Amino acid sequence: MGVVVASLAAVFCLTTSSGQVAASGPADRVAVPPQAPPSDSDTATARRWIDRLGRIVPTRFVARASERFLLVSDLHEADAADALQRLERTANAIEGFARELDLPERTQKEDARLVGIAFRERRAFERFASEEDRVDASWMVGYWVPGADRIVFRREGNAVAATRALHMERTGEGAVLASTSEPIAVTVAHEAAHQLLHRLGVQRRGLRSPLAVAEGLAIAFERCAIDGGEPFAIQPEREERVADAIAAGTLPALSALVATPRLLSTDPGAIERFYDASYSLIRHLRTSRFDDFAEYLRLLRDEAATLSGRRNKELFEGCFGPIEKVEQAWHRSVRQSGKRTRPT
């Protein structure tokens, strides 16, 4: 993109504990709400990331740091601060989840900050995705790249879609997990959840573990970034769709959900059912079989390098019992939930 690293570094901003912006460039930038008190290493950490990203992001981009994240973007000050706040809310929720399940974060080799790149304009977002990540982002609002361990999203065109269709596609750098049109807060939280779960080791590069587990968990934390809601809360509309799919015989089979690291179909309706089923299943297991669920995630993490479809099934049945019986209990729970949530 012809980016000059020095120019990007010249507009580096870091939010201080007093809410003022410390910058190495112009001093008249608008103050933003405080994110986290900076440590002595904050500036050096952000500059190292700017050096890495300077060759691939436009020169007008600004880096802003919070406690756990570095956001490099051309968003307005208020929008960038809002995105960082939502990222931190998501991180808080996932840290609480990790403590519940006794899943310690993996040791990091270097900077612990998670990186996000955000664009105001759709065209710039799509160009970056195409040139740097080799992704067709024409249908996306955001995505996470495991190999680079960064989330990328856009703010323009923030329309709420009638349905949600998430997709995984192969790229030159591995697999990309992506979101279609959603409220921007949902996209930010969903892709950040993938990033944070990757740090925990629950989701690993290569995506050999079941995709349904990765997506079900990411969906679980979306509401945390929007309204501070609790993770794993019941989602009545989603649960009703799952109940309807069970009745119609179109819900993905549990044996397929727990085995495959990819989508079962590219049909939009099937994709929606896949993600509805993924969240419903993960919520059911976490609610009804908490200890077994915790052990299951630990095993997926510990065996990440050697997982396969067959091994994924073996781990699932080792923790929860025969797939057929688990499926029956899950479907029964969905039908009972549907009776409680449907309007009379």
Phi, psi of 164 (to 5 degrees): -105, 130
pLDDT score, position 41:
55
pLDDT score, position 171:
35
This model's pTM is above 0.85 = no
pLDDT score, position 150:
87
pLDDT score, position 14:
37
Q: What is the β-pairing status of strands 69-73 and 114-119?
A: parallel
Structure tokens at 242: 């799952």
pLDDT score, position 147:
78
Structure tokens at 97: 């989840």
- Residue 115 Cα distances to 163, 227, 277, angstroms: 28, 23, 30
Question: How far apart are the C-alpha atoms of 176 and 262, rounded to whole Å?
Answer: 11
Question: How far apart are the C-alpha atoms of 224 and 247, rounded to whole Å?
Answer: 31
b/e sequence 1-22, b meaning 16+ C-beta within 10 Å? eebeeeebbebbbbbbeeeebe
The DSSP code for 343 is -
pLDDT score, position 101:
87
For 263, residues 6+ apart whose C-beta sits below 8 A from its C-beta are 167, 168, 211, 270, 271, 274
CA 278 to chain centre: 14
117 three-state secondary structure: strand
Structure tokens at 301: 């993490």
- Residue 170's H or E segment, with its range, is strand 167-171
pLDDT tens across the length of the chain (344 residues): 322 222 333 333 333 222 222 223 322 232 333 344 444 455 666 666 667 677 777 778 888 889 889 899 999 999 999 999 999 999 999 999 999 988 877 665 555 788 899 999 888 899 999 988 888 888 788 888 887 888 999 986 543 332 233 333 333 333 445 554 456 788 888 888 988 888 887 776 656 889 999 999 999 998 887 777 789 999 999 999 999 999 999 999 999 999 998 889 888 899 899 999 999 999 999 999 999 999 999 999 888 888 899 999 999 999 999 999 999 999 999 998 866 555 54
Q: Do the Cβ atoms of 57 and 116 come closer than 8 Å?
A: no
Q: Do the Cβ atoms of 104 and 98 come closer than 8 Å?
A: yes
Which amino acid appears at position 343 of this protein? P
pLDDT score, position 326:
98
Q: What is the β-pairing status of strands 114-119 and 150-154?
A: parallel
Instruction: Report the alpha-carbon angle 69-71-77, nearest 5.
Output: 120
Q: Do the Cβ atoms of 297 and 101 come closer than 8 Å?
A: yes
For 258, residues 6+ apart whose C-beta sits below 8 A from its C-beta are 210, 212, 213, 312, 313, 316, 323
pLDDT score, position 182:
57
pLDDT score, position 331:
98
pLDDT score, position 50:
67
Question: How far apart are the C-alpha atoms of 86 and 342, rounded to whole Å?
Answer: 31
pLDDT score, position 174:
39
Q: Which stretches of 14-144 are DSSP H helices?
A: 42-53, 77-101, 122-132
Phi, psi of 149 (to 5 degrees): 50, 55
